[in-house]
Amino acid sequence: MILANSFSTVRGMKPRRLNRTRLLEMANEYAAGAVKHLTFVNRRDELELEQAREGLRVHFLFPNCNDEQRALLLAMALTRRGFNLMVNVCEPARYTRDLDRVEQQFCEMRSEILQSGLMEGLTSIQRAILQKEFFQIRFSRR
């Protein structure tokens, strides 16, 4: 079973040998394996499936966080994803108000995470993932 094998592999590896990229790949494999067992019928269910997939990734990457902290990390990940889509896929000029609102939410969540003390309980690889994969927005060139 991919879920059990991925998690035990992470636990069995020394932190220095497990790099950020490989851990993210493993989180994606974990989430993909789990969502295969979920079904969706319509477009709305696809959004719920995507949220479930992202929730599984957060749970995999941050097993040492409590439920409240993981909920905050999930909200951050989903807000970041929405902002990325608005900036890099949509026409940003058409959605200026929405972009401003989502950017403000993103910055508020980032500040909340930094002020919550969550970072102190993370390993160095988890802090690197949080900085690179949660706190940064990539802008594509058109």
pLDDT for residue 11 is more than 90 = no
Determine if residue 90 is left, alpha or beta; phi over 0 gives left, psi from -120 to 50 gives alpha, anything else beta.
beta
Flag whether the pTM goes above 0.75: no
In a shared domain, residues 7 and 51: yes
Q: Go through 106-124 and write b for each residue having 16 or more CB atoms within 10 A of its CB, e for each that does not.
A: beebbeebeeeebeeebee
Q: How many domains does the chain have?
A: 2
Considering the domain architecture, whether residues 87 and 121 belong to the same structural domain is answered as yes
Average confidence score pLDDT of the chain: 79
Domain of residue 54, residue span = 1-61
Residue after which a domain boundary falls, among 38, 61, 84: 61
Residues 102 and 119 in one domain: yes
Report pLDDT digits (tens) over 49-81. 888 889 999 999 999 999 999 999 999 999 888
pLDDT at position 23 over 50? yes
Look up residue 120 and give its two tokens.
Answer: 């102190």
Check whether residue 29 and residue 79 sit in a common domain.
no
Predicted confidence at residue 40, as pLDDT, reads: 58
Q: Is pLDDT at 140 greater than 80 in this prediction?
A: no
